[in-house]
Amino acid sequence: MSPETPPHQLVDLLGDADPGVRLRAALELGEAAYTPAAGPLVERFGHERDFQIREILTWAVLRVRDAALPLVHAALTSPHWLARLQAVHTVSKIGSPDDGPRLLALLDDPVDAVAARAWGAAAQTRDPVTIPALTAQLARGNSEHQNSLTVALGAFGPDAVPALTAALSHPEPEVRRHAADTLSHMGSPDADDATPALAVVVADPVEAVRLAALNALGQLVVREAWTVVDAATGSGEARLRHLAERLTERRPGERALRMAELRRRAKEAPGSLTAPAAPPALTWAGPWPAPDLDLVTLEGGARADELAPALARQVEFCRPRWLSREDVPPELLARAHTDAVAAARAAGTAEELVERVARGRVEQLIHESVMLEQVSVATPGRIVKDLLFGTGVHVAGFRGQER
């Protein structure tokens, strides 16, 4: 690529086999704010496997925002999980309140990484219409996903408290625990209205829920909350007592409690502009089905059991045809190259770029159909073979594999 490469040729290089060329093409298109590139840039969302280049694609798309935004919104419903992921990431950079309804379906996306990104994007919109759908995701995914949801709900402040309070009485203990953890993250004054419900949950039959509720009370500057914490210092339950003792080490002073009480009374006084919201009727999106571990066969390594769910999800969502690039039939690659050359010429691609475009499309075929070369569904910043590197774990085969 020369410094004088015209923008329309840079578009052709967005799919080049060399990631350095793809990166430079996306950067130069963004710097030029080349509006005709809006479509190809957004289209690349679903195909680019390099995390850094995907970030540059989002930046370049925002440089031509008016032309690209309708295409980004359309990509939110793409059948390709990677396109949805990057589209919702782009929407999160805008933070428009108008995008709240567009994100609702993505909050329950079957791919954890897409759903978690959508949670953050919903928080950026500050649209309360998303709160019940966000609360319905409580207890989903691993600790990282749950932390993302906690932060997202916390961004709504008091608006999220009625839904979280309702979740404290959910029949699933993990939902109750996560709701209490989220209220703990919010603390005072946002979560003050949850005090009575948290006080009840301190007697929950499940220890993890009791501890989470007590910890949440310890983050509040509310006299009633500290009555419960103080009482727990005499609990016969060792872990609950120990937590209560730790919390009392930073118990708010009497003046802080009085001032907080005065502020609440002023808020609740007749004629106040705000009133406590009624707890909504909630549905829980879970339990989320566990991956079918029979989809993949692993060999070696102590981490095989740990990696099996992520690799099973890989097969489920990405439908690879081959395990490694060496497994792809050479005649198929040759035919794909011939077809790509013909398509490039038919599209009017400059002759000096035809071969580059063709090689890029062949490489894309490998990236999308070879399991070890695919973007990891579990960790979108890496590809599958990098996820396995150094673990001693090898994929022996998977369901649907072609040979």
* Same structural domain, 197 and 247: yes
Could you give the number of structural domains in the chain?
3
Q: Cα(88)–Cα(384) distance, rounded to whole angstroms?
A: 22
pLDDT attached to residue 301: 82
Q: What is the pLDDT of residues 109-136, one digit of tens each?
A: 999 999 999 999 999 999 999 999 999 9
pLDDT attached to residue 273: 43
Task: Tell me which of 260, 286, 312 is where a domain ends.
Answer: 286
Residues of the chain with pLDDT under 50: 272-275
82: domain CATH number is 1.25.10.10
pTM of the model: 0.89
What Å distances lie between residue 180 and 80, 120, 175, 186, 352, CA to CA?
A: 35, 19, 9, 10, 61
* Same structural domain, 136 and 261: yes
Give a yes or no: residue 99 inside a domain: no
pLDDT attached to residue 400: 87
Give a yes or no: residue 105 inside a domain: no
Task: Tell me which of 251, 286, 321 is where a domain ends.
Answer: 286
* Same structural domain, 83 and 119: no
Q: Helical H runs in 233-350?
A: 238-248, 254-268, 304-318, 330-346
pLDDT attached to residue 264: 78
Q: What is the pLDDT of residues 171-192, one digit of tens each?
A: 999 999 999 999 999 999 999 9
* Same structural domain, 60 and 169: no
* Same structural domain, 224 and 301: no
* Same structural domain, 133 and 221: yes
* Same structural domain, 131 and 238: yes
- Could you tell me how many residues make up the chain? 403
* Same structural domain, 33 and 119: no
Give a yes or no: residue 32 inside a domain: yes
pLDDT attached to residue 260: 81
Q: Which two tokens stand for residue 94?
A: 């805008």
* Same structural domain, 207 and 348: no
pLDDT attached to residue 275: 47
Closest CA relative to residue 191, chosen from 230, 232, 227, 150: 150
Task: Tell me which of 286, 305, 331 is where a domain ends.
Answer: 286
* Same structural domain, 6 and 143: no
Closest CA relative to residue 74, chosen from 66, 63, 83, 64: 83
pLDDT attached to residue 167: 96
Supply the range of the domain harboring residue 53: 1-94
pLDDT attached to residue 286: 67
SS3 45: helix
DSSP conformation letters of 200-251 = HHTT-SSHHHHHHHHHHHTT---HHHHHHHHHHTT-SSHHHHHHHHHHHTTP
pLDDT attached to residue 269: 63
